[in-house]
């Protein structure tokens, strides 16, 4: 990349520092230099991989030069930078500090001295002297190849989208309920009726002249979403909206947000325990609230099942329709666009966000207080629990991903995951939402090695929200290290054992 007036033998190099040592890269191999950005850390990835970054919609692996050289990692500073390499696959390397862009005549590059100046862990193309210092030209390709050996060809995002679509088509007859907390009572909505769960914004846009059930509107996916109070719809007193959740559903052709005090769990339904609501409860005066069914989840737990279309009187629906028109909120018709939208259960581990295809999730529940430990099992297997008469293996996902133990366990949840061969409960820090996104938001994960190559299916890149979630492969999650253990467990667990309560 010689400039006009320069000799063709002159080359430009970007110099940078790592552990106070001066290194260089050919400027032609550098696409850009940016500040350190938020990273999505990949569990059980090689030490050299700091995480994944979002560079203008492109999912990009970030490697540490310190780790590539076999040295200890340190926290980034205000001087730390990411050097984005200009190659066929986007990748960035994190350095302590960028020094300068220099032009070096070929005659000043000493390639014959490479072996003499190479320290442990380094791989060099040559050296040159600048300002009394020796700058070492790193062979980054060789360092990356050493730390990230080539794996099998990664699956493209379109393949993943097809696979998830197939899962939608092949979903079994299991019925699942999302349960909500409204005035300390538990209500349920069929998961098929739930488009998404999002936090209630701090500030709502109020609409004059609307029914008290309409709390306001909020921005939602390039439109405005009417927010309706479930408390008012259910004839319950209004209360503070602090920590409320918005359940996005559809009523006719209109998307609405039902504001609940919070979400409780996601549960699989035993059809034999679902009963039609008694006639006296089918409608109260005015006909506004109708409970379709009652689910007897346990002797002390009755869940009233709601149907969105039956929540409103005709005059409320008319006002809702006028609200939609008054705010110029376009009506979204169910069509080809919706068939490409996929749903995932999002959860957190150690402040990092992960996701699972909703089809693989049986239910979400609180972590049981009593978990029976088993001798001579891997450290990540927390034990077994009795979940409604069935013994369920429980995996601590923090331990599974070699993460430190959680300091605060109050919000932990048990995510029950099912694959073709296995069923197990995963302990996670918290479940954040049921996430709906387009297939275009799913990006193929960069080539990784070790456990991460199988576990991290792809990446859900929500660039407009500044979020990146690692999409886990349920079958890999439950079958790599745990395959033999769970297989043997399933074979040895007798019907008598599976019905025995924990002690």
Considering the domain architecture, whether residues 235 and 329 belong to the same structural domain is answered as: yes
Is the pLDDT at 168 greater than 50? The verdict is: no
In whole angstroms, what is the distance from residue 64 CA to residue 121 CA? 13
* The pLDDT of residue 125: 93
159 occurs within a structural domain: no
Terminal CA-CA length for the chain = 72
In whole angstroms, what is the distance from residue 331 CA to residue 324 CA? 8
Q: How confident is the model at residue 365 (pLDDT cuts 50, 70, 90)?
A: confident
Tally of residues, the chain: 503
Taking residues 288-295, report their average pLDDT: 75
214 occurs within a structural domain: yes
State pTM to two decimals. 0.70
449 occurs within a structural domain: yes
Taking residues 319-344, report their average pLDDT: 48
356: enclosing H helix or E strand: strand 352-357
156 occurs within a structural domain: no
Question: Among the residues of 394-445, which ranges form H helices?
Answer: 397-400
> Using one digit for the tens of pLDDT, what is the confidence trace for 382-404?
888 888 777 888 989 998 888 88
Considering the domain architecture, whether residues 349 and 462 belong to the same structural domain is answered as: yes
* The pLDDT of residue 209: 62
* The pLDDT of residue 267: 83
Domains in the chain: how many in total?
A: 3
Taking residues 96-107, report their average pLDDT: 92
* The pLDDT of residue 314: 59
Taking residues 87-102, report their average pLDDT: 88
Considering the domain architecture, whether residues 100 and 219 belong to the same structural domain is answered as: no
Taking residues 91-105, report their average pLDDT: 93
Is the pLDDT at 146 greater than 80? The verdict is: yes
Considering the domain architecture, whether residues 106 and 195 belong to the same structural domain is answered as: no
Considering the domain architecture, whether residues 110 and 221 belong to the same structural domain is answered as: no
* The pLDDT of residue 337: 39
Q: How confident is the model at residue 313 (pLDDT cuts 50, 70, 90)?
A: low
Please list the helix, strand and coil fractions of the chain in percent, rounded to the nearest 5, in that order: 20, 45, 35
270 occurs within a structural domain: yes
* The pLDDT of residue 450: 57
Considering the domain architecture, whether residues 14 and 133 belong to the same structural domain is answered as: yes
Is the pLDDT at 156 greater than 60? The verdict is: no
> Using one digit for the tens of pLDDT, what is the confidence trace for 233-275?
888 888 888 888 899 988 777 788 999 998 888 888 888 999 9
Higher-confidence residue: 121 or 314?
A: 121
Considering the domain architecture, whether residues 268 and 351 belong to the same structural domain is answered as: no
SS (H, E, C) 151-164: CCCCCCHHHHHHHH
CB 285 within 8 A of CB 231: no
CB 16 within 8 A of CB 97: yes
For 209, the token pair is 């002249």
Considering the domain architecture, whether residues 281 and 222 belong to the same structural domain is answered as: yes
* The pLDDT of residue 126: 94
Where is the domain boundary, 128, 147, 166? Answer: 147
216 occurs within a structural domain: yes
Closest CA to 346 of 260, 242, 462: 462
* The pLDDT of residue 147: 85
Considering the domain architecture, whether residues 39 and 87 belong to the same structural domain is answered as: yes
165 occurs within a structural domain: no
Is the pLDDT at 355 greater than 70? The verdict is: yes
Question: What domain range includes position 472?
Answer: 340-498
* The pLDDT of residue 336: 36
Considering the domain architecture, whether residues 180 and 323 belong to the same structural domain is answered as: yes
Q: What is the CATH number of the domain that holds 259?
A: 2.40.50.180
* The pLDDT of residue 483: 57
428 occurs within a structural domain: yes
* The pLDDT of residue 30: 92
Closest CA to 450 of 47, 73, 40: 47
Where is the domain boundary, 287, 303, 337? Answer: 337
Taking residues 39-62, report their average pLDDT: 88
Give me the torsion for CA of 477, 480, 484, 486, rounded to 10°.
Answer: 0
Q: Using the Cα atoms of residue 183, residue 186, residue 429 and residue 370 in order, give the sign of their dihedral.
A: positive
Where is the domain boundary, 283, 311, 337? Answer: 337
Considering the domain architecture, whether residues 280 and 204 belong to the same structural domain is answered as: yes
Q: How confident is the model at residue 487 (pLDDT cuts 50, 70, 90)?
A: low
Q: How confident is the model at residue 460 (pLDDT cuts 50, 70, 90)?
A: very high
Asked which of 35-49, 330-344, 489-503 is least confident by mean pLDDT, the reply is 489-503
Considering the domain architecture, whether residues 90 and 103 belong to the same structural domain is answered as: yes
Higher-confidence residue: 221 or 463?
A: 463
């Amino acid at each position: 990349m010689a400039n006009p007036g320069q000799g063709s033998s002159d080359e430009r190099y970007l110099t940078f520092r790592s552990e106070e040592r001066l290194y260089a890269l050919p400027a032609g191999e550098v696409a850009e230099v940016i500040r350190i950005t938020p990273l999505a850390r990949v569990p059980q990835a090689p030490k050299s991989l700091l995480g994944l970054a979002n560079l203008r919609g492109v999912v990009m692996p970030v490697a540490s030069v310190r780790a590539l050289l076999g040295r200890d990692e340190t926290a980034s500073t205000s001087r730390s930078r990411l050097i984005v390499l200009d190659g066929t696959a986007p990748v960035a390397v994190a350095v302590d500090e960028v020094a300068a862009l220099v032009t070096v005549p070929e005659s000043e590059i000493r390639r014959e001295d490479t072996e003499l100046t190479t320290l442990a862990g380094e791989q060099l193309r040559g050296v040159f002297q600048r300002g009394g210092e020796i700058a070492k030209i790193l062979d980054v390709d060789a360092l990356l190849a050493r730390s990230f050996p080539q794996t099998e060809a990664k699956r493209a995002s379109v393949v993943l989208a097809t696979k998830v679509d197939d899962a939608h088509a092949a979903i079994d007859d299991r019925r699942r309920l999302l349960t909500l907390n409204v005035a300390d009572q538990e209500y349920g909505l069929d998961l098929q009726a739930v488009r998404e769960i999002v936090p209630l914004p701090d500030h709502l846009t109020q609409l004059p002249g609307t029914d008290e059930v309409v709390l306001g509107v909020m921005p939602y996916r390039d439109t405005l979403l009417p927010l309706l109070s479930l408390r008012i719809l259910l004839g319950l007193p209004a209360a503070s909206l602090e920590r409320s959740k918005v359940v996005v559903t559809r009523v006719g052709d209109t998307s609405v947000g039902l504001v609940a005090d919070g979400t409780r769990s996601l549960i699989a339904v035993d059809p034999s325990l679902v009963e039609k609501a008694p006639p006296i409860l089918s409608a109260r005066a005015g006909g506004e609230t109708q409970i379709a069914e009652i689910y007897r989840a346990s002797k002390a737990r009755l869940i009233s099942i709601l149907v969105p279309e039956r929540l409103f009187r005709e005059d409320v629906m008319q006002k809702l329709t006028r609200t939609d028109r008054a705010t110029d909120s376009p009506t979204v018709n169910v069509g080809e666009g919706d068939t490409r939208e996929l749903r995932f259960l999002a959860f957190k581990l150690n402040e990092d966000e992960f996701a699972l295809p909703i089809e693989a999730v049986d239910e979400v529940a609180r972590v049981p207080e009593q978990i029976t430990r088993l001798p001579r099992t891997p450290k990540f297997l927390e034990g077994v629990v009795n979940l409604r008469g069935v013994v369920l293996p429980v995996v601590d996902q923090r331990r599974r991903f070699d993460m430190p133990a959680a300091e605060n366990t109050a919000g932990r949840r048990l995510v029950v995951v099912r694959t073709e061969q296995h069923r197990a409960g995963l302990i996670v820090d918290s479940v954040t939402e049921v996430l709906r996104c387009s297939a275009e938001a799913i990006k193929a994960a960069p080539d990784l090695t070790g456990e991460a190559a199988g576990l991290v299916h792809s990446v859900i890149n929500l660039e407009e929200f500044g979020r990146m979630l690692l999409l886990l492969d349920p079958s890999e999650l439950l079958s790599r290290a745990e395959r033999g253990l769970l297989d043997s467990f399933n074979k040895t667990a007798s019907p008598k054992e599976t019905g025995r309560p924990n002690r």
